[in-house]
């Protein structure tokens, strides 16, 4: 049953030993090393305790640091990337929560390669990224902080220092990358800011020339077959989403973890996909009563969803066989407000000779070409014939997002969507 203690005793999942060995000196870490005391600023799951998984992407050159975040049990990775500088020292792209574990893992790299010299906040709208930059910068007091232009806050537009960023060490990224102290090794392209009415969207794509690696924040994602390693450290959210109804027995197996991960992706991208029904309250209550051990962690047995038999088809249409793609939220609510600006940005990025992409969410690294990156934005071009939203089933899955878009338009909260070249 969900919530039973046997869920937490299983240790025979494929590759689990590899997961446990990702971080060196694992026995040195205790529960207090995972604590994040500022969780109340952005109260997302897992709240005050965040594990960190470090993985080496390019030997002695690039490392990713994954944590998790989510709403209820729709849990996805959030990722920081650290790059070794040729002249010594480290550059950090999109910091995550600086727990003691995270800082210890960074300091292991500092001991080998030199201090953190530069910290980049590559977004202007992603609070889940912005909230960590100030605390992270205070841990590395000699690092210079560069932030994407167009930063804003709601309801008042406050100075960056009031948002926790170190005033004397923080500056706006110039439009010309040659004006930065790391221009010999990196190029970047700034998207936006795109006007969204009450707010703005912007992102900085960063290209590391020597390793041919592109870093992006939210614009590009892909979904791996297996759940990311950071999520498999505690598979409970995956197994919760693998249920068919409250009270189901869900053994901890790789197959069920994958099932839960696929459904998590559908929730994360569509909010409420068309392949999910909400049963009558009396049925939800009856299923909850059948759960033998009801507690807060399993929401006292309540599971208010019923997955339709064809839900896996929606997943396959979303992920397109592992291709990189633009998330439905950005396609439906954001980038369509500035299609030409976005295409111009994508064209510039596609001129770089990268071989892999590291996004801040979902799978990483992705082996992808500039041509594949550019193709992901074809949906913005009128008559391109390459829109992922043209399939009738995808249209159904997007209905909630389109309803949100219509409501925002009716209330004149956001500017209308535009056609390419307008």
Q: Which of 227, 185, 225 is nearest to 93 (CA)?
A: 185
pLDDT digits (tens, 9 = 90+) for 15-71: 444 444 455 455 556 789 999 999 998 899 999 999 999 999 999 999 999 999 999
DSSP track, 252-310? --HHHHHHHHHHHHHHHHHSS-TTEE---HHHHHHHHHT-SS--TTTGGG----EE-TT
Q: Which residue has the tokens 């009716």?
A: 410
pTM of the prediction?
0.90
Return the pLDDT at 103. Answer: 98
Q: Is the dihedral of CA 206, 207, 213, 219 positive or negative?
A: positive
| Beta strand 186-195 pairing with 200-208 | antiparallel
d(CA 252, CA 13): 8
Q: Which residue has the tokens 């997961």?
A: 19
Neighbouring residues of 338: CB distance < 8 A, sequence distance ≥ 6: 192, 194, 195, 418
d(CA 282, CA 275): 21
Return the pLDDT at 246. Answer: 82
Q: How far is CA 138 from the centre of its chain?
A: 23
Q: What is the pLDDT along the chain (422 residues), one digit of tens a residue?
A: 333 332 322 333 444 444 444 554 555 567 899 999 999 988 999 999 999 999 999 999 999 999 999 998 999 999 999 999 999 999 999 999 999 999 999 999 999 999 999 999 999 987 889 999 999 999 999 999 999 999 887 666 666 777 788 989 999 999 999 999 999 999 999 999 999 887 899 999 999 999 999 999 999 999 999 999 999 999 999 999 999 988 788 999 999 999 999 999 999 999 999 999 988 888 888 888 877 777 777 777 888 899 999 999 999 999 988 999 999 999 999 999 999 999 999 999 999 999 999 999 999 999 999 999 999 999 999 766 667 788 899 999 999 999 999 998 888 888 888 766 55
Phi-psi region of 243 (alpha: psi -120 to 50; beta: other; left: phi over 0): beta
pLDDT digits (tens, 9 = 90+) for 220-251: 999 999 999 999 999 999 999 999 988 788 99
214 in helix, strand or coil? Answer: strand
Phi-psi region of 3 (alpha: psi -120 to 50; beta: other; left: phi over 0): left
CB 371 within 8 A of CB 350: yes
Phi, then psi, of 338 in degrees rounded to 5: -145, 65
d(CA 313, CA 328): 16
């Amino acid at each position: 049953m969900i919530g039973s203690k046997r869920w937490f005793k299983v240790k025979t999942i494929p590759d689990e030993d590899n997961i446990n060995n990702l971080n060196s000196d694992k026995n040195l870490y205790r529960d207090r090393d995972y604590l994040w005391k500022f969780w109340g600023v952005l109260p997302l799951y897992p709240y005050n305790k965040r594990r960190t998984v470090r993985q080496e992407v390019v030997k002695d050159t690039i490392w990713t640091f994954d944590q998790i975040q989510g709403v209820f049990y729709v849990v996805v990775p959030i990722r920081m990337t650290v790059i070794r500088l040729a002249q010594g020292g480290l550059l950090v792209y999109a910091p995550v929560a600086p727990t003691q574990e995270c800082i210890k893992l960074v300091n292991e790299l500092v001991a080998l390669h030199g201090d953190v010299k530069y910290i980049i906040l590559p977004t202007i709208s992603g609070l889940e990224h912005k909230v960590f930059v100030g605390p992270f910068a205070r841990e590395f007091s000699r690092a210079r902080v560069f932030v994407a232009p167009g930063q804003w806050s709601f309801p008042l537009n406050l100075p960056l220092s009031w948002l926790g960023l170190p005033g004397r060490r923080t500056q706006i990224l110039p439009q010309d990358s040659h004006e930065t102290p790391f221009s010999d090794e990196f190029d970047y392209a700034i998207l936006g800011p795109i006007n969204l009415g009450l707010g703005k969207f912007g992102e900085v794509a960063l290209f590391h020339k020597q390793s041919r690696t592109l870093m992006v924040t939210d614009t590009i994602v892909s979904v791996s077959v297996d759940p990311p390693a950071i999520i498999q450290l505690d598979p409970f959210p995956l197994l919760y989403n693998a249920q068919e109804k409250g009270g189901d027995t869900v053994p901890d197996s790789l197959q069920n973890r994958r099932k839960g991960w696929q459904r998590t992706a559908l929730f994360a991208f569509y909010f409420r996909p068309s392949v999910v029904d909400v049963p009558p309250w009396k049925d939800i209550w009856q299923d909850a009563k059948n759960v033998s051990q009801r507690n807060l962690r399993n929401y006292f047995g309540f599971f208010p969803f019923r997955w339709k038999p064809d839900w896996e088809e929606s997943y396959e249409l979303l992920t397109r066989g592992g291709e990189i793609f633009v998330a439905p939220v950005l396609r439906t609510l954001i980038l369509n407000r500035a299609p030409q600006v976005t295409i111009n940005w994508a064209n510039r990025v596609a001129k770089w000779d990268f071989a892999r992409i590291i996004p801040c969410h979902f799978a990483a690294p992705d082996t992808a070409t500039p041509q594949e990156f550019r193709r992901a934005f074809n949906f913005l071009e009128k008559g391109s014939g390459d829109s992922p939203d043209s399939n009738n089933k995808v249209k159904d899955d997007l209905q909630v997002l389109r309803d949100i878009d219509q409501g925002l338009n009716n209330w004149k909260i956001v500017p209308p969507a535009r056609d390419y070249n307008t």
